[in-house]
Structure 1
Amino acid sequence: MMEAQISELERDIIKEILNIGLARAADSFAAIAKDRVLLKVPDIKLIDVKELLGLVSEYEDSHIIIQSDIKGDFNGATLMLFSDDHVVRLSQVCLGMEEVPKGELSVMQESLLLEISNIITGALVTQMANILKASIYGSPPKAPKGYIADSLKDILVQHPLFQPLVFTVITRFTHNSRSVELPLLLFFDSKTFLHIIEIIRNFDLGKTNLMETD
């Protein structure tokens, strides 16, 4: 079982790398949200494809899902999950809309959600590339119109032994003391996961300061 191949220390290192990237993303997001933003990785788990698709489909009816693929040396994706309430709050805070109709998104609202996903995924990918010395990039975010499994097929189909490593990230932004949480799922295929572990195992932890990314 792949779970046995990751130690607590390695899990903590991966979490710390992601949290560094998310701290940078939070600063960029704060400029749009005009207030304090906190992003943290509370959970890392290895799950199989069925469980992943089940998890995503639970959100599908009640959330707008924005997907950004991670390509290059690593293969993965981020999914940001926006509920109606999130859309209303973000529209008020970032677009200055007072009355936000529920239902179909306006072009401006969809652009805003795509931009938020772009900022967060972009900052995360840049920091991971710096720390892990990997050549990776995020593809432009998209709002899949059909069933999300179809949209994820590239990642799933190319890797029949795919056991995704899933990170749940809670994005919390505060505006006028009101807090809004956005779930974000970040996942990599098993080949990428093993690659990341290999890079981490080759770190000289006595000399490596994760914050030194230049």
Structure 2
Amino acid sequence: MITPEQLTEYHKDILKEIGNIGAGHAATALSELMQKSIDMALPTVKLVPFHEVVQMVGGEETVVAATFFRVTGDAPGNMFLIFTLDEATTILRELTGDPEVDEERILTSEMTRSALQETGNILAGSYLSSFSDFTGLNLSPSVPFLTIDMAAAVLSFGLMEMSQVSDYAIIIDTQLKNGSSKQTGVDSHFLLLPDPDSFQKIFQSLGVPLNE
């Protein structure tokens, strides 16, 4: 299992490139679904204690719409696609052509929630497919789990198992934003959290030594 001391700037650059390739394909897929420009910020790689992860998406009490996936295969881990409720509403209006979609509809309509879940499924599949192509590793997303809740509750769902084997998370974080939006801030996050044992497999697949 790779330790924080072994994660050099060189390794972080490799992980950023993985995030760049994966999220770039996901942003392209979202652009095609919505038929509009989707911007992508440069990925960041962060080593943070579990209790600080929620600060990355706006704080514990921020209500978000999140799709969670368990990544299975050669390098298991967890993946979150997290939207603000405003962005989830915008995406669903674009996809369904229904201007009446609002936050209440997302909370109460099974059909609306299914559309958002399937959107997450498409984006996660696109991300992991490009990740697999880049590394040569076999990776697949689980059936997506959609939840709308405060960020602390959403993230604890996917971090509970990991926290039993480590007290930190290495997170590849990429931000996606509606390219035509005039608002400031970030509309969504793609968080990829490989299991601690997966980092060695990822670096080995790329021929990158841990002591570089």
TM over 0.5: yes
Take 1:87 and 1:106, find their aligned partners in 2: how far apart are those partners? 14
| Aligned: 1:195 with 2:201 | yes
Shift of 1:142: 0.9
CA contact (8 A) 1:66 1:80 kept: yes
Structural RMSD (CA)? 2.8
Q: Show the counterpart of 2:166.
A: 161
* Structure having greater relative contact order (Cα 8 Å, sep ≥ 6): 2
Take 1:84 and 1:42, find their aligned partners in 2: how far apart are those partners? 22
Alignment of 1:40-79 (within 5 A): 40-52=41-53, 58=59, 61-79=62-80
| Aligned: 1:17 with 2:18 | yes
Residues 183 and 202 (structure 1), Cα distance of their counterparts in 2 relative to 1, 3 Å cut: closer
| Aligned: 1:108 with 2:114 | no
Take 1:200 and 1:165, find their aligned partners in 2: how far apart are those partners? 18
CA contact (8 A) 2:23 2:174 kept: no
CA contact (8 A) 1:68 1:117 kept: no
1:14-40: per-residue Cα shift (whole Å, max 9, x none)? 211221222222222112111112334
CA contact (8 A) 2:19 2:173 kept: no
Q: Show the counterpart of 1:89.
A: 90
SS in 1 for 2:168: coil
CA contact (8 A) 1:76 1:155 kept: no
- TM-score calculated relative to the size of structure 2: 0.79
- TM-score calculated relative to the size of structure 1: 0.78
Structure 2: unaligned runs, 5 residues or longer: none
SS in 2 for 1:88: helix
Q: Show the counterpart of 1:6.
A: 7
Alignment of 1:98-177 (within 5 A): 98-103=99-104, 104-144=107-147, 147-148=153-154, 151-152=157-158, 155-156=161-162, 159-161=164-166, 163-174=168-179, 177=180
Percent identity of paired positions between Structure 1 and Structure 2? 22
SS in 2 for 1:47: strand
Residues 44 and 153 (structure 1), Cα distance of their counterparts in 2 relative to 1, 3 Å cut: closer
Take 2:116 and 2:61, find their aligned partners in 1: how far apart are those partners? 16
Shift of 1:49: 3.0
Residues 91 and 149 (structure 1), Cα distance of their counterparts in 2 relative to 1, 3 Å cut: closer
